[in-house]
Amino acid sequence: MPDNQEQDTFAALEGREWAKCDVAQSYAEVFAKAADMVVPHLVAAVCTGPDTRVLDLCCGHGNVSAGLFNTGARVTGLDFSPAMFEMARLAVPQAQFVEGDAVALSFEDNTFDAVTIGFGMPNMPDPPKVLAEVRRVLRDGGRLAYSVWCGPEFDTALGYVFGAIEEHGSPEIALPPGPGANDYADPTIAFPVLAKAGFSDCHQTIVASKWQVSDPGAPFDFFLEETARGGALLRPQPTTNLAAIRVAVVAKVLAKHGVGPEWDVPIPSVVTSAVVA
C-alpha cells in the first residue's frame, strides 16, 4: 500500500482520478465536446497524411487519434488511464493503443514523424521531462502539437469555476503541488522549455472552443463530475460551500451570456506547435 505522502502527490491524484471509469466516461461524453473542436487544429499542425507515423500521447478516449487516423496516418495512442484507452480502442479499432508513462516512453529513438498531446500537458507532473521524451522519439524534422485550455485572463469557464472555488471554497481543500493547469498555454513558459528539449519554430493558435448548455450551472457540474483537478477541489467541499460555488458560477454565466434559455459558454484553448530543431 502507498503511504500517505505518495497518495498526496500530484501524479497520484491524476492517476487515481482518471482511472475512475465514471470520470473518464463523463469526460468523453460531455466535457470533451469542447475538446473535439480543437482536434482539426492539432491534426493540421502536425501535417499528417498517408503512412505518417504519429504518437497520440495522452490519447484519452481517442478523439484526436480518430482525427489523425482519418488522414491516413498510422496512429499509436498512449495513456496512463486504462479507462481512457479502452474507450479509445473502441473508438478507433484500427489504431494501436498502449498503456504507458509519458515520462518514460517505451519506444525507440526516432520512431515517429509526429506527436500530438490533446489536453494532456496539465495532467503530467513533469512536462519538461515529457517534452524531452517526445523529442527523443521524434525523427529529425518531426512535428509536435499540443493543446491546453486558456487561463483566466481569457473569458473562460475555467475562470468562472476556479474563481468561484477561490472565493467560496473551503481554504482547507487544496491540490498537491504540481504544474499549473494553464502553464503551457503561456508562451513565456512553454517556448523556452520546448527550445531546451530540442524544438524550434514554435507557434500558437487560439481556438474558440465552447460548450453549448441549457443549464447555466453546467460548467460547475462538468468540473465536479468530469475532471481530476476540478473534482478533487469540489467533491470534498462542505455542502454549504459547494452550493455557494455553484450559485456563483450560475451568476457568472448569466451576467456574461444573458438569460438563456441556452448558453454558449466559452472554454477557449491554445494549440502550440513546434518542429524538431
Matching residue, cell 491524484: 13
**Would you state the pLDDT for residue 7?**
45
Residues with Cβ within 8 Å of 66's Cβ and at least 6 positions away in sequence, in order, are 39, 91, 92
**Would you state the pLDDT for residue 2?**
38
Boundaries of domain holding 43: 4-151+178-210+268-276
How much is the pTM? 0.94
Residues with Cβ within 8 Å of 73's Cβ and at least 6 positions away in sequence, in order, are 48, 49, 50, 51, 52, 53, 54, 114
Answer yes or no: is 221 within a domain: no
Answer yes or no: is 230 within a domain: no
Answer yes or no: is 199 within a domain: yes
**Would you state the pLDDT for residue 227?**
93
Return mean pLDDT, the chain.
Answer: 95
pLDDT tens digit sequence for 62-90: 999 999 999 999 999 999 999 998 999 99
Give how many domains the chain has, as a whole number.
Answer: 1
For the chain, the straight-line distance linking the first and the last C-alpha, in angstroms and rounded, comes to 43
pLDDT tens digit sequence for 94-141: 999 999 999 999 999 999 999 999 999 999 999 999 999 999 999 999
All three cell numbers of 210 = 465552447
Cα gap 230→223, rounded to integer Å? 5
Q: What is the CATH number of the domain that holds 182?
A: 3.40.50.150
pLDDT tens digit sequence for 7-64: 469 999 999 999 999 999 999 998 999 999 999 999 999 999 999 999 999 999 999 9
**Would you state the pLDDT for residue 214?**
97
Answer yes or no: is 263 within a domain: no
Cα gap 185→264, rounded to integer Å? 22
Asked if 237 and 157 count as a contact pair (C-beta separation under 8 A), the reply is no
Report the share of the chain in percent with pLDDT over 70. 97
Answer yes or no: is 185 within a domain: yes
**Would you state the pLDDT for residue 85?**
85
Answer yes or no: is 15 within a domain: yes
Answer yes or no: is 237 within a domain: no
Cα gap 57→98, rounded to integer Å? 10
Band of pLDDT at residue 1, cut at 50, 70 and 90? very low
Answer yes or no: is 102 within a domain: yes
Q: At residue 184, what are phi and psi to the nearest 5 degrees?
A: -90, 10
Q: At residue 42, what are phi and psi to the nearest 5 degrees?
A: -65, -45
Cα gap 108→203, rounded to integer Å? 27
Give the H/E segment covering residue 147. strand 138-149
Could you tell me the sign of the dihedral formed by the alpha carbons of 89, 94, 99, 104, in that order? Answer: negative
